[in-house]
Amino acid sequence: MSRIGKLPINIPSGVTVSVENNLVTVKGAKGELQQKLADNLTVKVENGVFTIERPDDTPTNRAMHGLYRALVQNMVTGVSEGYTKILELVGVGYRASNDGQVLELSLGYTHNIFLQLPKEVQVQTKSERNQNPIIILESADKQLIGQVCAKIRSFRKPEPYKGKGVRFKGEIVRKKAGKTAGK
């Protein structure tokens, strides 16, 4: 049995989970999310507990069992608590600002980068004196917020010599020693 797949998901108060034709819909205070499950998995929702069972132990079913349980758990957590990611821009002259759902980044290129964010993701930017600019992203969808963070990071990844670039708040970038002048 899958160690993750067999764990029950406790549904908190204020969250409703419904299943129709293996389409799981989770509604809560932060929004509504849907996930289509594999056809061979069976789902039970009773007494505030959500469980997923698989028909047999074939490798495909074993893999799908834990995957879909984790996805549903992320949906339940997202609609009840939400997810927050904080990105930090490290570098001289790096700036970030937002106008609604449009994020404007100045990352040392000759032009500014404009990124249209999905409506499910809320963005907030902070720029304080003598501190690195910060981008705060909030969403109920863990997959979507991770994809948006990866897209923002791809514009200027942290480099190992000076540590400049877009990184998560608190992330440690291992620095390399540069060239040594020798003669």
Q: What is the pLDDT of residue 5?
A: 86
Whole-number pLDDT of residue 24: 94
pLDDT level of residue 169 (50, 70, 90 thresholds) = very high
Q: Judging by DSSP bridges, how do beta strands 122-126 and 102-106 pair with one another?
A: unpaired
Closest by alpha carbon to 36, among 10, 1, 5, 71? Answer: 71
**Mean pLDDT computed over 147-168:** 95
What's the whole-number mean pLDDT along residues 160-182?
A: 89
Cα 44 off chain centre by? 27
Is the pLDDT score of 182 beyond 80? no
2 vs 19: which has the higher pLDDT: 19
Calpha distance 124→104 (Å, rounded) = 11
Indicate the pLDDT class of residue 1, thresholds 50, 70 and 90: low
Confidence (pLDDT) at 76: 95
**pLDDT tens, position by position, 101-144:** 999 999 999 999 999 999 999 999 999 999 999 999 999 999 99
CB contact burial 127-157 (16+ within 10 A = b; e otherwise):
eeeeebbbbebbbbbbebbeebbeebbeebe
Calpha distance 2→65 (Å, rounded):
7
In 10 A of CB 98, how many CB atoms?
A: 17
The C-alpha angle 85, 173, 91, rounded to 5 degrees, equals 75
HEC per residue, 111-175: CCEEEECCCCCEEEEECCCCCCCEEEEEECCHHHHHHHHHHHHHHCCCCCCCCCEEEECCCCCCC
Distance of CA 82 to the CA centre of its chain: 10
pTM for the predicted model, two decimal places? 0.89
pLDDT for residue 183: 62
By C-alpha distance, which of 75, 63, 80 is closest to 23? Answer: 75
* Domains, the chain, ordered by start: 9-80 (3.90.930.12), 83-168 (3.90.930.12)
Query: For 11-68, how does the pLDDT look when each residue is reduced to its tens digit (9 = 90+)?
Result: 999 999 999 998 999 999 999 999 999 989 999 988 889 999 999 889 898 889 999 9
